Each structure stands twice: as structure tokens, then as C-alpha cells.
Amino acid sequence: MIFKPLNVDKWSRKPYFEHYFNHVRCTFSVTANLDISYLYAAVKNKGIKLYPALIYMITTVVNRHHEYRTCLDSEGKLGYWDSMSPSFTVFHDDDKTFSTIWTSYCEDFGEFYRGYLEDLEKYGGAKGLHAKPNEPPYTFPISSIPWVHFTGFNLNIYTEGSFLLPIFTMGKYDRQGPQVLLPLSVQLHHAVCDGYHAGILFNELQRLADNCDDWMTPNYKRLE
């Protein structure tokens, strides 16, 4: 993947970045329910796992907008990756710990899903924080708390506050009448994203869930 440096002096967001990164450094979180009623029925009908479908949706939206891919490279230069892949958590029921696995993103859901299943089969039982080695720098984090249908979630990261990428956390889906609602929280850095960008994110995710037949092909090779 290619890291594209930003010319900050010609960047329309320069005054906002400088304010929220250099003077009032802050992040903010937004939590909202996604209506996954149709998506949930579709994955059940096709025998597909819900978690990778949601990971695919999130990664697809992240890759549509450079604001969600803007970060500092290893040398501290500001720019954005031309494409990013998800780094997601898996839970170990035997000792109640978790590990992270990353899967290369592909616009074709079938290819991404096969990659997810292969990674899960190979690394899903590995213990430790990073189950799959050699994670590239062009990943962003997704995690899940499938035991709680939360109404709010906030991360408190006590570092220098220079992590600019979005951080996603899913909750437990809940049936409310005919609807299946999934809480999703995203932590954003105000230096690169505003409330508008949070709104775009959730609106596009909802459209992907409502129109999942457009990107979800019917047949997949299962890994037993």
C-alpha cells in the first residue's frame, strides 16, 4: 500500500488540524445503533458469519474517505494510506482473553470472506495480543463486546494523543420488535474528523446493511 503525504499548507483542514492537534488535542466518540435486520436475515440465509460481514462493511466505508485513513507514518509525516485493512479481535473462551488478527481488504466480499476464514482457521487459536504476525502499518482497529448492548462507549487512551485513525467497537445486537439493532461506537480524532464525518460514516454503513444483496454474493467456500 502507498502512503500519500499531505501538503499541509495547501490542505483546507490545516487550521482545524493545527487547533485540535497542537492546541486543544482531543478525540471524541459517537455511538449509534445500526439496523441490521435485513443484513442479519441475509447472512443467516446464506450461511455467512455476521462478524466478518460487519468488518467488511466498516472497512469499505473507511476506504471510501481519506479522512478515516489520515495518520502519521513511522517518521511522523502526515498523510493517508491509499487503502487500509482491518485488524480485529477474536475471543478465547477457554481463558477469557482476546487476540488480534488482520486480514487484507478486498473490495470483493467473497474474496475478503475467504481470507477472513483462512486467517481465523490458521490464527484463531493462537494466544497473545497479536495472533497473526507481521501486521502492516496500514491497518486500523475493530473490536467487539458481544455481551453488552451498550448505549455508549468511550476509550480513554493515555498517550501523546497522536493516533489519528478511527477505532471501532461493536456491541451485542438486540431484537426490538421486528428490528435487529447493533450498537457501534467509533472513536475519532478531532484533528482529522468532525461530527459531519461521523454522520457520513454511520449513514453509509446503514446503506450497506440495507443493500447487502448488492455486495454479498451467494456462495462461499467454507473452511470446516
Enumerate the domain spans of the chain: 10-86+137-214
Q: pTM for the full model?
A: 0.95
Q: Work out the pLDDT band at 218, boundaries 50, 70, 90.
A: low
Exposure letters 48-66 (e unless 16+ CB within 10 A, then b): bebbbbbbbbbbbbbbeee
Tens-place pLDDT, residues 99-145:
999 999 999 999 999 999 999 999 999 999 999 999 999 999 999 99
Which CATH architecture fits 10-86+137-214?
2-Layer Sandwich (3.30)
**pLDDT value, residue 11:** 96
Q: What is the DSSP string of 7-65?
A: -GGG-TTHHHHHIIIIIS--EEEEEEEEE-HHHHHHHHHHT--HHHHHHHHHHHHHTT-
Mean of all residue pLDDT scores within the chain: 95
Tens-place pLDDT, residues 169-211:
999 999 999 999 999 999 999 999 999 999 999 999 999 999 9
The share of the chain scoring above pLDDT 70, in percent, equals 97
Q: Which residue numbers are catalytic?
A: 190
